[in-house]
Amino acid sequence: MHGSGVFAGEDFCEGEVLWRYAPDLDRLIRFEDIPGYPKAFQDYLEMYAYTSPQVPGGVILSCDHAKFLNHNDEPNTVIEGETTLARRMIRKGEEITCDYRICVAGFTGFD
């Protein structure tokens, strides 16, 4: 998989909440503001931020480890609104994955 990855530090039961959008922690960076930021920050946004159909208006920059979640066509998580749940039992040490086609607007796959 691409990137660093996030691995479960404990077991998670099916349906258990793994992540929830938190406006005080997960920053919404408005599209129109991006050009005014330094290039280094724009590059950081390009790598770690994403456009979300669940949270419109800009890109989301998760300020926690969620930014390191990798894509899987058959992820072990499911998104319901602004919340990520365990799709099935996730064991301690297992990589936590999501489906970018659902949580990243416009994602069609890797080249």
Provide the CATH number for the domain around residue 50: 2.170.270.10
Question: For residue 10, is it within any domain?
Answer: no
* pLDDT exceeds cutoff 60 at 2: no
First vs last Cα of the chain: how many Å apart? 13
Lowest-pLDDT range of 19-33, 68-82, 95-109:
95-109
pTM of the model: 0.77
Question: For residue 76, is it within any domain?
Answer: yes
Question: For residue 109, is it within any domain?
Answer: no
Question: For residue 3, is it within any domain?
Answer: no
pLDDT per position as a tens digit, 84-105: 999 999 999 999 999 888 877 6
The total domain count for the chain is 1
Q: Is 69 exposed, middle or buried (0-12, 13-18, 19+ CB in 10 A)?
A: buried
Structural domain span for residue 52: 17-103
Question: For residue 87, is it within any domain?
Answer: yes
